[in-house]
Structure 1
């Protein structure tokens, strides 16, 4: 039995499809029936019988922050993919991020130890990787610097510490640090917002860029690592380092609109995050751009993918084809 936490998210739903399609016995947690409908939609991108595949999964309603309700998830489980997480860059959400990402991960690690799980794969993020040194490529060995991290990155790094602690107590683990994951189905969150934004023919693009990876590559890397003898290692998963301008130039034409051509200046970013702070603290509005995120947009990080390529003989898929697939699915949305 394989347990996938966070099976109703982008990575989790695609992982469920891959595992169930390959004949594995799967269990996953969910919070609401509405969240399961998103998984059904993702399955429909790749199968003519998504309902049949959905029925083959053991669905358990459970929250990873509720210790008392998690034992039922682990009965008979041998392998765990821990994908569940809260994503937010809003400083006011720090306590919620800490509860879900850090305490929730500690719960999964503790139960994996309790039930004798053979191996755990934790989905972290490049946000938990230390900053670039003298503009060199970022690798898995970069030293962590909390002062230069956003609240999401801090909690993902601290969650990794819980996983490393589990490894010291005898749990076999691997950690993956994906870049921005390009995949279909979640158009109002994560990378899906790039497609939604581009479809509106917007004129502005944010400066700098980051590391991007396709959902197929993430799933491929995770499952290969779990099937391997590799343990107690972390791997950056980045297919291409691109600017946001380059990304929009790939997406927009396929959606029938012109790509944005005006770069948001550093001055504009400085003004906006300050005004955003005022909106939040005076008028109670939700933050759209925190100071730490704004500062991170001034300079592009370049991520190395050499470790995963050399240790797994891993080959990344064609990013352009993956973006085309996402654009086609976006145009089909209802």
Structure 2
């Protein structure tokens, strides 16, 4: 019997979805809940994904913006994006129990910025103003010690105290191509500028961008599952557009899809940002199967086997036990 549904090939990017840092952060919250019972407070979204946040809320996590919303007997987890030094310092002052879920690759950038500052260098940070990771990185050293740039134009306008005493670092979730252009501009203007010992843009960001770049050119449409406040997800949409895909869109879930807009689409590229769980990708495929005769092709560029250990977590003091 011939199917009345139109044919649709879904080309899955691999790697996609959760990275090791995101997985570790989520496990820290879940383990803190398992060992202490609810509530466990989390400063800011643990990762930029509402599905993950709501899942943890259902388990007893309470998300807050600042530490003054955490009671004196509370346990608090800092998000994967990292925090300024003032945050753990305030937690220690209040004698709060806390766990730091900062991605180890973000922590590497923090240590790098501190090292440059101690060496007397002004640090130029390539990143997006207002992003939690950027706020956390700049907050590792005294205010004014780090100058933020985002574009080549920003580099041209940059005023520095001493062009001979500079170093640069980058946010871990930037566009690889765009960042290379900004780094080149920095090196051209400040030939003596020091760079990171190892690449700051994380392996997961690079791998996901390369995977989308591989599948977007031959597709009619690219969907990236992720959140608008997720830097790495937004960069994937930009990569798809840059590689020539006629349309590229960010979707939070399958419910966001305007299926009428897929009329004429025969090849759909599908990926997910590093903070998006695989179940959301599965739901997009299942929703497509209800409307199309779907063939799934997976294009795998690399196998990711990176894992980060969950650190020892604080235990609620006996006197505070329920």
Q: Which has the higher helix share?
A: 1
Tell me the TM-score normalized by structure 1.
Answer: 0.32
Larger relative CO (CA 8 A, sep 6+): 1 or 2?
2
Computing the radius of gyration over CA atoms, which structure comes out larger, 1 or 2?
A: 2
Tell me the TM-score normalized by structure 2.
Answer: 0.33
